[in-house]
Amino acid sequence: MGCVWWTPVPVGYQNRMRGGGTGWPALCGLVGLLACGGDDGARADAGAWDPSAGGGTTSDDGATTGLVSTTSASPGDSSDAPADDDTMMPEPIADVPAVDDCPRVQVMVPVGEVLNVRPDPSTANAPIGSLPNNAIVSVLDEVDGESVDGETRWFHVQYLDLEGYISAVFATCTQEDAPELVPPDGFYLPLQCGVQATVTQGNNGATSHNGLHAYAFDFGLGLGTPLVAMADGIVSLIFDETGPGDPCYGGGGPECGPYGNLVIVLHGDGSTSLYKHLNEVHVTPGEFVPRGGILGLSGSTGYSTGRHAHVMRMENCGQFKCQSIPTQFVEAGVPVTGDVVTSANCP
């Protein structure tokens, strides 16, 4: 299969729903601060990752010298003697192209935030779009602008149809190209290297693994265990609205089904992977996550009777619930209920 590239998430996805209406509650909330908060606009403003439209407030952001040798005149030569062209003329030096020290920048914002793109190098005007953490974008120019945390440099950047300015506080120069998704060699357990877990429900489990979820796996995990990407991918959807104190944060019945925090990752073979019942989500849509990269922390949010992670590969239908597909883990094959597995997801 050909390479898969991530595409902008419609800005409408930033509107969150909690109950009511139709469909699933919220196609992910993208919250980005121009750092860590504050009402002065210098460091914090929230935005949704969308190259074409903004909203809210976010983290803002020689010459080559040759060694020319000359030959001195031999004894007795007159100073008026004509120069020997073969000895006096330096060899021509080929032009050496200048190296661009900053052809691209990588976005560096706190976990769960995005970087707003501004129409000019300041926070005075509303953002025109935003970029996810770790995004690599082309630099058109470096300019001086509003001081952010004592830094006046801003990058004039371009990505797809989005062109604007980001503060150098939240981006670093890189020679790396933007990541390209290719079909993975295999899928690994969604646990950090060396972590063990018990499969509490395997494929076609009698409790809940049927229909769309037939090929899912439940892993019994302690609260706060990192869940990691089974293969390289781009975060396509998240739900992170359920927090401490909410009715479904510690689990519940079918009525809590829509409120399980989750992450969905798109892979290079066109499939997606789902990681559900998280206590915390640490990524944003559009963000590239390498195999083994942390997506969030395990919990028991949503329709859950105990702490665990619900994981499965799915068809890419663009929704939270798509048909699951068979998965064989590189290090564990197809584990069944009761199996204890050890992750070899060691990037």
* Joined tokens for residue 142: 């470096």
Residue 154 in domain = yes
pLDDT value of position 21: 40
Distance from C-alpha of 256 to C-alpha of 48, rounded to nearest angstrom? 26
Same domain, 52 and 106: yes
Q: C-alpha angle 222/223/227, rounded to 5°?
A: 85
pLDDT value of position 166: 98
Asked if 133 and 116 touch (Cβ cutoff 8 Å), the reply is no
Same domain, 43 and 161: yes
Distance from C-alpha of 109 to C-alpha of 135, rounded to nearest angstrom? 10
Distance from C-alpha of 89 to C-alpha of 253, rounded to nearest angstrom? 88
Asked which of 174, 205, 233 is the last residue of a domain, the reply is 174
Nearest-CA neighbor of 291 among 318, 273, 311? 273
Same domain, 211 and 169: no
pLDDT value of position 160: 84
Give the start-end residues of each E strand in the chain: 104-107, 114-117, 129-132, 136-148, 151-159, 162-167, 171-174, 196-201, 217-220, 226-228, 233-239, 261-266, 272-281, 288-289, 294-298, 308-314, 324-325, 340-342
Same domain, 152 and 215: no
Distance from C-alpha of 47 to C-alpha of 117, rounded to nearest angstrom? 9
How many distinct structural domains can be found in the chain? 2
Same domain, 300 and 241: yes
pLDDT value of position 14: 38
Same domain, 234 and 120: no
Same domain, 265 and 223: yes
CA 38, chain centre distance (Å): 25
Element (H, E) at 87: helix 85-88
Same domain, 235 and 132: no
Identify the domain containing residue 151 by its residue range: 25-61+100-174
pLDDT value of position 249: 97
pLDDT (tens digit, 0 to 9) for every residue of the chain, 347 residues total? 444 444 444 333 333 333 334 343 333 333 333 333 333 443 334 344 555 444 344 445 433 333 233 333 344 444 444 445 555 666 666 666 666 789 999 999 998 899 999 999 999 999 999 999 999 999 999 999 999 999 999 999 998 889 999 999 999 999 999 988 999 999 999 999 999 999 999 999 988 999 999 999 999 999 999 999 999 999 999 999 999 999 999 999 999 999 999 999 999 999 999 999 999 999 999 999 999 999 999 999 999 999 999 999 999 999 999 999 999 999 999 999 999 999 999 98
CATH number of the domain within which 334 lies: 2.70.70.10
Dihedral angle sign, alpha carbons of residues 196, 197, 198, 202: negative
* Joined tokens for residue 88: 């006096």
Mapped onto helix, strand or coil, the DSSP state of residue 194 is coil
